[in-house]
Amino acid sequence: MASTSTATEIPSSPPPPPQTSQPPLRNYEEIATKRREIEKSQNQSLINGFDLQPHATKILESKDTSSLQETITNFINSKKPSFRTILKSLAYHYPNAFAFKLAKLLNLHPSFPIRTETVSILLSIFKESNKLNFTPVLIKIKEPLLNSLKIESNESILRPLCETIGLVAARIYHFPLGGWLELLQYVCDCFSRNTKLNHMKALIMLAELPEDVAENREFWLGYGYYDVLFSNLLKFVNSPDQEWRELTFNASLIVIKMSRNLARAEVCDSLLPVLLRLIELQYGGDDDLLDVDLSDMVKRLGDLVTLDIKEIFNGKESDVFWLLLRVAEREDVSDEIKCAVVTVIKELDEANSDAMESVIKKIRKKEIRRVISVAMDMMSCVVDDPVWYDVDNKICEDAGLTENFNRGKYLLNLLSFDGDERVFVPVAIQMLERKYAIHGDWRVRYAAMLTIAAIAERNFKGDMIKYIDQAVTLVHKSLNDMNHRVYAVIAIRFLVTNCGLEKINSFGEEIVVLLLKLLKHEKQKLQEEVIETLKSVALLMPVTFCQNHYDKFKEHEVLVIVESLISIGGKLSDTDHLARYVILKALDLFCVCQRVNIDKFIDQIMPMLLTYAQLDLNLTTSMPMDLSLDDDKNLVEMVRVQTCNVLSCCADRSAEKISPNAVEVTNIFLRWIGCSSFETRKACMLGLPKLLPLIKEGVIPKKDKIEVARRITLSVIEALGKETDSDLSKRMFRLLPKCIKTSGSFSNIKLLSVIVDGINQALKKIMENEIKRVKEAGTSEEEGDFLPTQETIKDAGCLIATTTETFKNGLCIDRLMKNVALFLETNMPDRVIVFAISIFNILVPQFPENLQPHHDKYIIAACHALRNDIPHSQPHAIRAIGICAEFGKDQFNLHLASVSVSRLYNVAGCDTAVEALGKICEYHRDKIEGSKIDPKILFTRAAVIGHFVGGSNDRNGYKVERMQLL
């Protein structure tokens, strides 16, 4: 080891590298920019309103420090704000020059008050200013600051002075200046001197050094000064003075951090126990400052964890955990320290989860009580914040939950996830029974219920089941708790969800009764918690039954459950919509379960469903005055939607049983399909397709069938015209063909007229929406944001094809084509033109006699689409030309033929273009004989395409045969 005397020659810091870059050339623009920046800076000045320049000239440009000392003295003596303003403004506008001037003043060792104020200003400059990166100033300020440290003897100034020097050192090591070897040498020399003051300087200054000082490897390793630090630190570990122990702790941290860059990881094996020992020794006494120091030490230990230096804590996680727990379980320790302790444990778990899992797994029965006690104590740190009850407030869930609560919950979850369930579960349940669930403080009882919920949520591979009776008993009692924040309901939720509904059978009826009472509680937050819990119970009833117990139960037991639900529903008041919703949710899950034979109880539930499906706000005559209208509307809608879902499921699974009520159910759905409630409209739209087969094929009087079929079609058409939601409009559009097909057998002229008008209106609405979208976007169609989708065209094609097939002899096709033809104008948006062409492509082949009034507009639109290369239009436009060639007769004149051939020739590489050209050749050969188009070239293209298409020889032969007509 090297000697600690000053005899060893240490090379001084090398001079800064010379500046090689030339100052930039100034120009008028730069001068103007700089002036604006200066003006902006002046506006932000603390003394904006009077001239700073005289003070700056007097203080900064003088050769000595007398003016600065005078200003500081005046401020100390008078405490006038103007002097403070001058000092702050100089620090803001001239940080480099002012800092150097202050350092020079400090080097003169003025009186104690002036030194104190000078160090304070210097520290604030280096903390707040980001402009102190000017290399020459950093080089010049080193010497006076280090000299000030050497001659300073007052302990109250040492800490801020060392902190300031540490900030300067951090800036110096940020640049390639060779570091600050003189400072490092002085720190090491202080350790070798046998005075308390020097030892204190060494410890304080060492703690403030940046980790980057390890860059001077030759100094630390070559001269052995790293070992000097390490060996001297060990001397102060057992100091009786608590302040010295804190100083040793902070200094040890920087030595550990340096070990990574110096490749001296073995130092951590010795220093980490030192840190833990110092934390444990630091606790004690009646001085409040000690509590602050301990909290700071724990937080600094956490900072060490986040450095991700594995060698520091490797294999020592257990020592750290139990030390921190001993600190947290002291009765008089502050909440801040407890929070800091668990935060470090959390960071340790995040850094090495496997190691912490091993620690938690090994916790014995006696020790686990200690951990649970700390967790419960922290979880009881809750404030009864009124915001918690305000369900409309986004932060209501976390209102009143302190940081200590969250840390305690984490500690409990750590036991839940990683602990030995055979040890943790019985100990936790026993402690809850004997102490926490019966505690006089509601916050402790609240923590107890959350603990039960946490245990149930994990379920511990079934170990919770062994103690389910005790847990349910505690929860059951808590439902009568005088304080409503006790979370018994959430505990029930997790018990049911994770441990099984059958496990709470002994208390099931009483619990449900208590929950139903809470539904009427004045606090809406309590109502919502109960709803969520009842939903969990309702959801699990059929799920548990279907998955685990169906084969063990007799079928009549399902009927017993359903009868119970019906019985409860019959006893509800007109305003118990929440309870109705829970009942319907349970019925819905029974109905969707394929293993349950719903035929056995459809007749029993149908009266209740028909009543609930017709619930309307206007029908509830006994509405309590204290409920808001909006809340009640929402509850009614929830019941109505859930009822429609159950009816839809019954129609889907048991057509025969629901057939007698099919007409009434359909009428109910049709009543709501145009209502203002989106969720209700959606539920009815999803249910109608399941009712259509019953109307067409069910055992229903013909008169009723005719009327219902007519109403279905008319209602869907009317609703489609009013619907504002795009997704629901699409569903209605796709449902309409099925409705038309169903009503086809019972049609009359009036119905046909309405259907055609409805189709006209639907198509017009689609096209107008597209025009509106293009206009609102303020962009051209060529950008492709509003191009036609094949899905929309396919849906429209299906609707028209179904309609024409169903009503071919009586359909008012002329009105339909006239309406669509309006959108064939070439000034329409691209999407609209393509859509209109695609509709004509469907109609014309089936009704060629109606083409004549619209022929020219139809083919011109197709040629326009090809000429302008409208995206996605090619197949529709090509087919349109072929259709016009086939059915246009004399209207397909020489000019149109020539233009069409020209357009098709440009896209002759397209498979369908050859076919369209073939039709022109077949039906209008005489009109293209004088054309400039070479028939041989067309024939060659057709042959080549036929060769490469392959796989459909008949079709290719057909195309070639047509081209041979040339």
| Cβ contact 666:648 at 8 Å | no
| Cβ contact 156:186 at 8 Å | no
Structure tokens at 112: 């104690």
Which residue type sits at 834? V
For residue 147, the model assigns a pLDDT of: 94
Helix (H, G, I), strand (E, B) or coil at 401: strand
List Cβ neighbours of 801 (8 Å cut-off, separation of 6 or more): 737, 842
| Cβ contact 300:249 at 8 Å | yes
Nearest to 739, CA basis, from 702, 706, 712: 712
SS (H, E, C) 602-667: HHHHHHHHHHHHCCCHHHCCCCCCCCCHHHHHHHHHHHHHHHHHHHHHHHHHCHHHHHHHHHHHHH
Structure tokens at 51: 């001239």
Structure tokens at 30: 């730069």
Cα dihedral 597, 600, 602, 604 sign: negative
For residue 603, the model assigns a pLDDT of: 84
Helix (H, G, I), strand (E, B) or coil at 537: helix
| Cβ contact 759:816 at 8 Å | yes
List Cβ neighbours of 173 (8 Å cut-off, separation of 6 or more): 179, 180, 210, 212, 213, 215
Rounded distance between C-alpha atoms, residue 865 and residue 448, angstroms: 73
For residue 949, the model assigns a pLDDT of: 39
Rounded distance between C-alpha atoms, residue 296 and residue 378, angstroms: 19
Integer-rounded Cα radius of gyration of the chain: 43
The owner of tokens 């009614």 is 636
Q: pLDDT (tens digit, 9 = 90+) per residue, 408-467?
A: 888 888 887 777 777 777 888 888 777 877 777 878 887 887 777 777 766 555 555 566
Rounded distance between C-alpha atoms, residue 865 and residue 856, angstroms: 14
| Cβ contact 816:760 at 8 Å | yes
Instruction: Please list the ranges in the chain whose pLDDT falls under 70.
Output: 1-55, 129-134, 282-292, 385-400, 457-529, 531-558, 595, 617-632, 696-699, 742-797, 801, 804-812, 909, 928-966
For residue 2, the model assigns a pLDDT of: 41
Encode burial over 639-667: b for 16+ CB neighbours within 10 A, e otherwise: bbbbbbbbbbbbbbbbbebbbebbbebbe
Rounded distance between C-alpha atoms, residue 478 and residue 445, angstroms: 8
> Angle, nearest 10°, between helix axes 353-361 and 317-328?
60
| DSSP code at position 781 | G
For residue 549, the model assigns a pLDDT of: 44
Which residue type sits at 773? R
List Cβ neighbours of 857 (8 Å cut-off, separation of 6 or more): 821, 824, 825
* Residues forming beta bridges with residue 401, ordered by sequence position: 382
| Cβ contact 607:643 at 8 Å | no
The burial of 879, by beta-carbon neighbours within 10 Å (0-12 exposed, 13-18 middle, 19 or more buried), is given as buried
Rounded distance between C-alpha atoms, residue 205 and residue 227, angstroms: 17
* Residues forming beta bridges with residue 382, ordered by sequence position: 401
**C-alpha separations of 336 from 340, 404, 414 in Å:** 6, 8, 20
| Cβ contact 551:598 at 8 Å | no
Which residue type sits at 387? V
For residue 180, the model assigns a pLDDT of: 92
The owner of tokens 């409208």 is 870
For residue 558, the model assigns a pLDDT of: 64
